[in-house]
């Protein structure tokens, strides 16, 4: 998933999407995502209109690479503390992590992932392929996914769509309960059922199928 995001970011860079640099300050070495209830977009350039490379969840720690003011907003260049694509996020949703904070040294050394995740690759608890179709009427193909597991049947599933976009799906009590984006906003646009070990999730004209074991382990 992160490899595809990195390729998308490279394409945007080659197309000239990066804005001219302005005065930059060093900022802290380590940030923590905070102050929002959804996810924080990592963009290829310091602009709201720039392409999204990936998304970070609240509590995730990011290596700081400097901040700058662009378009009247403060942007910081970051990457996940355990590696991944570099990009820009709004400083409004970052909190500086003191050097002596628990886990700070390990995070800067690339030994710790997001505070809410397990030990999987890139800070995720599991990655792989799931069956997907967008629009839903098309035959099922494969989409890359990554999952962050919480407690008590909670999880955040990130799916890379066939067009390169991302779909985030939240699980509670072992069931899909919410998806991000306009596709899920209309009444009845989001539906989810579990049939044995299989979760079937419908978001607008998108369809996803993933096993319970892939989501929660075991």
Per-residue pLDDT tens digits for 89-125: 988 889 998 755 444 444 444 443 333 334 444 567 8
More confident residue, 90 or 19: 90
| Contact between residue 141 and residue 131 where contact means Cβ atoms under 8 Å apart | yes
Query: Stretch 48-62: mean pLDDT, rounded?
Result: 84
Helix, strand or coil, per DSSP, at residue 39:
coil
State what percent of residues in the chain have pLDDT above 70. 73
Domain 2-108: assigned CATH number: 2.30.30.40
Residue ranges per domain, the chain? Answer: 2-108, 125-216
Label residues 97-114 b or e (16+ Cβ within 10 Å = b).
beeeeeebeebbeeebbb
Tokens representing 38 are 């959804």
118: buried, middle or exposed (CB in 10 Å: 19+, 13-18, 0-12)?
middle
Where is mean pLDDT largest: 26-30, 131-135, 146-150? 146-150
CA 120 to chain centre: 14
């Amino acid at each position: 998933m992160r490899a595809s995001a990195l390729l998308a970011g490279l394409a945007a860079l080659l197309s000239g999407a990066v804005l001219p640099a302005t005065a930059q300050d060093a900022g802290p070495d380590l940030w923590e995502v905070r102050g929002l209830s959804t996810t924080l977009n990592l963009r290829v350039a310091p602009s709201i209109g720039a392409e999204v490379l990936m998304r970070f969840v609240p509590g995730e720690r990011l290596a700081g690479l400097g901040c700058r003011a662009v378009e009247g907003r403060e942007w910081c260049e970051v990457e996940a503390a355990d590696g991944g694509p570099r990009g820009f996020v709004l400083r409004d949703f970052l909190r500086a992590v003191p050097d002596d904070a628990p886990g700070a040294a390990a995070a800067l050394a690339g030994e710790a992932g997001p505070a809410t995740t397990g030990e999987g690759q890139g800070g995720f608890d599991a990655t792989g392929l799931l069956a997907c179709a967008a629009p839903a009427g098309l035959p099922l193909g494969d989409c890359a996914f990554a999952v962050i597991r919480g407690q008590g049947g909670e999880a955040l599933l990130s799916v890379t769509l066939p067009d390169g976009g991302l779909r985030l799906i939240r699980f509670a009590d072992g069931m899909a309960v919410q998806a991000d984006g306009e596709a899920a906003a209309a009444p009845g646009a989001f539906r989810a059922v579990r049939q044995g070990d299989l979760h079937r999730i419908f978001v607008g004209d998108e369809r996803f199928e993933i096993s319970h074991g892939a989501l929660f382990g075991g």
